Amino acid sequence: MSIDHEPLRGLLGRDPVVATSGVALFADELRAQAVPVSEVAWKPVGEHSREALATVMADQRRVAANAEALARMTAAEAMLVDVVPARDALGLERGTFLHAGPPITWERASGPLRGALIGAVLFEGLAQTPEEAEAQLAAGAFEWEPCHHRDAVGPMAGVVSPSMWMYELRDEVHGNTSWCSLNEGLGKVLRYGAYGQEVIDRLHWMTDVLGPLLQQSVRATGPFDIRAILAQMLQMGDEGHNRNRAGSLMLLRELLPGLITADGSSSDIAEAVRFSGANEHFFLNLGMPACKLATMAAHGIPGCSVVTTMARNGTDFGIRVSGTGEEWFTGPANTPEGLFLGDYGPEDANPDIGDSAITETGGIGGFAMAAAPAIVKFVGGDVPFALTATQTMYEITEGEHTAYQVPILGFRGTPTGIDVTKVVRTGVLPQINTGMAGRVAGTGQVGAGLVTPPMECFTAALDALAQHAG
């Protein structure tokens, strides 16, 4: 018998690499001795969750159902086929509005959501002053519901009113359609809860000029394959949520021939091109419904534990799961951590808000940070963190996306299909890249950063899956 005389196979011949979990005292003592330590935020599954987890994982339908969900998500198309007013696309009637996240009442609504609703009421001419609009909203004069309830998605506050124009995307493979509003740019904009006159004027220009011109362009030269653009973006330094530079330029390239030949004044066309070209988030409002189409394709599979919706309304974080129908599972929204604009600080930021986490649900955004290391300059962190974030998300997903690939990881597909059982079992929460809205209505954007959902969403979903287990 041969004996390896190297002590512990060389373990003591190199610098130690230490990972700790639980009590921080051990990690602190090692750091005091100049030993690098990686702390892992893990804790054992609670007794209640352990029972539900065992029940769900024993469901004989789950493995095949989850595989089917992943196959549907990766097969889903996302073709931009039209640009239409919300009243026509979604059947929105006057005095009816959509918002981001799970359902919520005015009493519980956050500052940015209230600000966006006030702005939408003013934009629709249903009130003359912010005070009048707020009074009507508080009195229940209008109706609102989640964008997701009408197969739409809205960034940040996500407020959609009947007169706003919407991108219409189609997935012919599964027969689904999704919509999203046009992007207003950055700064003081409605989606961040601002409602000043400049915000209302911009919305009117988008309704009167930009929307009709985009409609002409898409109808003349489209449809456009948004999924193909997303795939290219990931190989050009975008992650599809907080960084959309390459995607916005590629989209403008597709739209430009139809824009410059559209029926409109030369000044209107020039302004539309300038506005679109200067807006680095122009593409985001197409990436979101593209991911919505992917998750719609995976929804409604019995026994499936794959998450098909992650959304926030500025108060609650909510998820929906393929195997539990239209039920929302909610918990308190966390406040993002990251970088702030100007003199703003953490005390100015509202808890997480927006439907844009549909990008992570579909396998891009925070799940594709490794494809966009430059994103760390916008949301905080460093390049190793971006790589680690993506690699960690493989631990909680069903598989990899066949179209969305990460060059630095050897063109490995992005982690796709968040599995409730894996989230609860590992304690690893989805990593989301997001903007930050000001806590006070009317403030606008105050920064950008990173956030995770509350674990309560996933444990509640696990309980529901256990009740539905076959």
For the stretch 222-281, pLDDT in tens is 999 999 999 999 999 999 999 999 999 999 999 999 999 999 999 999 999 999 999 999
What are the residues whose beta carbons fall under 8 Å from the beta carbon of 158, sequence distance 6 or more? 98, 99, 100, 101, 116, 147, 191, 353, 354, 355
Q: Return the closest-CA partner of residue 389 out of 373, 401, 377.
A: 373
Helices 266-278 and 211-221 pack at an angle, to 10 degrees, of: 90
Q: Which CATH architecture has domain 47-62+300-468?
A: Alpha-Beta Complex (3.90)
- When the candidates are 3.40.50.2000, 1.10.3080.10, 3.90.1710.10, 3.30.2020.30, the CATH number that belongs to 74-288 is 3.90.1710.10
pLDDT per residue of the chain (470 residues) written in tens, 0 to 9: 444 555 555 555 566 666 665 555 666 676 677 666 665 555 556 556 889 999 999 999 999 999 999 999 999 999 999 999 999 999 999 999 999 999 999 999 999 999 999 999 999 999 999 999 999 999 999 999 999 999 999 999 999 999 999 999 999 999 999 999 999 988 789 999 999 999 999 999 999 999 999 999 999 999 999 999 999 999 999 999 999 999 999 999 999 999 999 999 999 999 999 999 999 999 999 999 999 999 999 999 999 999 999 999 999 999 999 999 999 999 999 999 988 988 899 999 999 999 999 999 999 999 999 999 888 877 777 888 899 999 999 999 999 999 999 999 999 999 999 999 999 999 999 999 999 999 998 888 898 999 999 999 999 999 999 998 87
Answer yes or no: are the C-beta atoms of 77 and 227 closer than 8 Å: yes
Please return the burial class of 58, using the count of CB atoms within 10 Å of its CB with bins 0-12, 13-18 and 19+: exposed
84, 215 in Cβ contact below 8 A? Answer: yes
> Which residues is 168 bridged to in the sheet?
82, 179
* Phi, psi of 100, rounded to the nearest 5 degrees: -80, 160
Give the C-alpha separation, 265 to 274, whole Å. Answer: 14
Residue pair 366/388 in contact (Cβ under 8 Å)? The answer is no
- Residue 445 token pair: 């954007």
For residue 395, give both structure tokens: 């631990």
Residues 317 and 334: beta-carbon distance below 8 Å: yes
Percent helix, strand and coil across the chain, each to the nearest 5? 45, 20, 35
Check if 47-62+300-468 and 74-288 are the same fold.
no
**Residue ranges of the domains in the chain?**
7-40, 47-62+300-468, 74-288
**What is the radius of gyration, based on Cα positions, of the chain?**
23
